[in-house]
Amino acid sequence: MSDNVSTENTGVTGYANGPSLQEINGTVAIPKSKGFWKNLMAFSGPGALVAVGYMDPGNWVTSIGGGAQYGYLLMSVILISSLIAMLLQYMAAKLGIVTQMDLAQATRAHTTKRIGAILWVVTELAIMATDIAEVIGGAIALQLLFGVPLILGVSLTVFDVLLLLVLTKLGFRKIEAIVVCLITVILVVFAYEVIIAQPNMGEAVANLVPRTEIMHTGQLTMALGIVGATVMPHNLYLHSSISQSRKFDRTDPDEMRRAVKFTTWDSNIQLFGAFVINCLLLLLGAAMFFGKATDQLGTFGNLYAALQDNRLAGAVASPLLSTLFAVALLASGQNSTITGTLTGQVIMEGFINMKVPLWVRRLVTRLVSVVPVVVCTIIYGGNEAALDHLLVNSQVFLSIALPFSMIPLTVFTSSKKIMGEEYVNKKWVTILAWVCTAVLTILNLQIVWGSLSGLF
């Protein structure tokens, strides 16, 4: 595929951009072997970068808080959110592979300039809101682990860009490997802490089936928070781009089917891992803090302190648990920083076709997100509660932005003109996608309304 000419087999017209994330597009070689495991390993990686968005710092407070307030009741909410995520990410990856465009490029190609500009602004703000959570999580983790003042910790997150630049030079596989390692750190830390906490697994498994108690006001509010913090708009743009990183013959129908099949396997496996981690977070909250003073668990710092407080965490409380919690938070922040920066590049190139040096794109994305965090830190004198409030507000904005990515994705992947006869969504997939889109949009609007009501 050339930089300025669209391929005829995509079924899309008016496409004049270069490949999405051109420096990594089609750079990972795929073996000729037809063996399932070799193919799965070759296609594995993009799903891990996507799964990061489902276990970022923005998810932590809601999942742990849900367990602390309502025990194991909301396990089913995490399960349903994960299944919806699998559906949406499958459609996003398929869009990228089949059309050779990411969601931003496809949206730009199928809307007017005015609508495209509006969608670009909303999406850029969503990327900024996502990055704010990662900056805050990373800065707080540095403070908890090393006593680094918040303002300095926030400033240090700018240098994450340099790490990503180095990794990009080494190849996209290195980025995938780093992300998988960090996810493994998070998984191991919380698996260990949950084992120590000894949750009631029978009750937890039983609550994977939804119960009517979830519809009560307090439980429903927390459930909405978990759902709203789980499905993020930037993941749809990212997956539609990095799903194109594998190198194969796009004119060969068998090769295309193989790419869609194993990319879907990769996505679902990695999202299952994110589901497990979110369950561990809820299990930790339920096993250690259910029935305790949950008002003392509202910030990362409070959670860190609670894990070594016998009055809250019980006999298993220890400084080791707190330290491991902070290590996992730092790993989560670093992971989400990598994926957030990549998504910023996808958005900039896809919507407005802006070509700037790689380091400039990385640095601008990070600096734009750091500024509001620095301002908030200075104004409130490094008060963590203020940063946590900013984090919550950033998640609320993501709720507003979500329909702006879900609706185009559903429209495009349900179009035979865009996807072709073979890859267009099956009717049941289209119906399910629209139901999920409608439900998530309504739920997120309720979150926004509740947040606005709290201001008056």
According to CATH, the superfamily of the domain at 32-454 is: Amino acid/polyamine transporter I (1.20.1740.10)
Q: Which helix (H) or strand (E) holds 246?
A: strand 246-247
Average pLDDT over residues 327-343: 79
Residue closest to 27 by CA, chosen among 176, 247, 177, 178: 247
Average pLDDT over residues 36-56: 89
Report pLDDT for 12: 33
pLDDT tens-digit map of 61-80: 778 888 888 999 999 999 99
The one-character DSSP state at 247 is E
Q: Is the model's pLDDT at 340 over the cut of 50? A: yes
Sequence-distant (≥ 6) Cβ neighbours of residue 10 within 8 angstroms = 98, 99, 100, 101, 418
Q: Is the model's pLDDT at 10 over the cut of 50? A: no
Round to whole Å and give the CA distance between 103 and 109: 10
Average pLDDT over residues 19-26: 84
- Say how far residue 97 (Cα) sits from the centre of its chain: 20
Round to whole Å and give the CA distance between 251 and 361: 32
pLDDT band, residue 376 (cuts 50/70/90): confident
Q: Is the model's pLDDT at 11 over the cut of 60? A: no
Report pLDDT for 6: 41
Question: 142 or 165, which is more confident?
Answer: 142
Q: Is the model's pLDDT at 14 over the cut of 70? A: no
Round to whole Å and give the CA distance between 99 and 95: 6
Round to whole Å and give the CA distance between 164 and 200: 41
SS3 of residue 148 by DSSP: coil
**Whole-Å CA distances, 262 to 43, 233, 311:** 6, 23, 48
Report pLDDT for 396: 67
Answer for the pair 196, 56: CB distance below 8 angstroms, yes or no.
Answer: no
pLDDT band, residue 162 (cuts 50/70/90): low
Report pLDDT for 62: 77
Question: 32 or 194, which is more confident?
Answer: 194
Question: 2 or 407, which is more confident?
Answer: 407
Report pLDDT for 336: 73
Most confident range (mean pLDDT) of 81-85, 118-122, 299-303 is: 81-85
Round to whole Å and give the CA distance between 350 and 31: 30
Report pLDDT for 228: 65
Q: What phi, psi does 28 have (nearest 5°)?
A: -100, 115
Report pLDDT for 9: 42
Report pLDDT for 57: 73
Q: Is the model's pLDDT at 13 over the cut of 50? A: no
Round to whole Å and give the CA distance between 74 and 213: 10
Average pLDDT over residues 51-58: 79
Share of the chain above pLDDT 70, in %: 86
Report pLDDT for 44: 93
Report pLDDT for 247: 92
Least confident among 10-14, 51-55, 76-80, 82-86:
10-14
pLDDT tens-digit map of 287-324: 888 877 666 666 788 788 888 888 777 777 788 888 98
Cα 222–Cα 289–Cα 226 angle in degrees, nearest 5: 20
The structure's pTM equals 0.85
Question: 181 or 294, which is more confident?
Answer: 181
Q: Look up residue 33 and give its amino acid.
A: S
Cα 25–Cα 26–Cα 29 angle in degrees, nearest 5: 140
Q: Is the model's pLDDT at 408 over the cut of 80? A: yes
Neighbours of 181 (CB within 10 A): 12
pLDDT tens-digit map of 194-224: 998 899 999 999 999 999 888 877 777 777 7
Report pLDDT for 221: 72
Q: Token digits for 210?
A: 């939804």
Report pLDDT for 7: 38
Q: What is the mean pLDDT of the chain?
A: 82
pLDDT band, residue 16 (cuts 50/70/90): very low
Q: Which helix (H) or strand (E) holds 28?
A: strand 28-29
For residues 245-258, b (16+ Cβ closer than 10 Å) or e, as one string? bbebebeeeeebeb
**Whole-Å CA distances, 95 to 10, 280, 336, 413, 418:** 10, 32, 23, 6, 9
Question: 161 or 225, which is more confident?
Answer: 225
pLDDT tens-digit map of 230-264: 777 888 999 999 999 999 998 899 999 999 999 99
Sequence-distant (≥ 6) Cβ neighbours of residue 238 within 8 angstroms = 49, 50, 53, 339, 342, 343, 346
Question: 48 or 331, which is more confident?
Answer: 48
Round to whole Å and give the CA distance between 74 and 82: 13
Average pLDDT over residues 86-105: 95
Q: What phi, psi does 439 have (nearest 5°)?
A: -65, -50
Tell me the pairing of strands 28-29 and 246-247: parallel
Round to whole Å and give the CA distance between 165 and 376: 28
Report pLDDT for 3: 38
pLDDT band, residue 160 (cuts 50/70/90): low
Answer for the pair 149, 382: CB distance below 8 angstroms, yes or no.
Answer: yes
Q: Token digits for 257?
A: 């089917």
Report pLDDT for 199: 92
What residue spans of 171-252 are helical by DSSP H?
172-197, 201-206, 217-230, 233-242
SS3 of residue 29 by DSSP: strand
Please give the full DSSP string across 114-128, using - where no structure is assigned. HHHHHHHHHHHHHHH
pLDDT band, residue 56 (cuts 50/70/90): confident
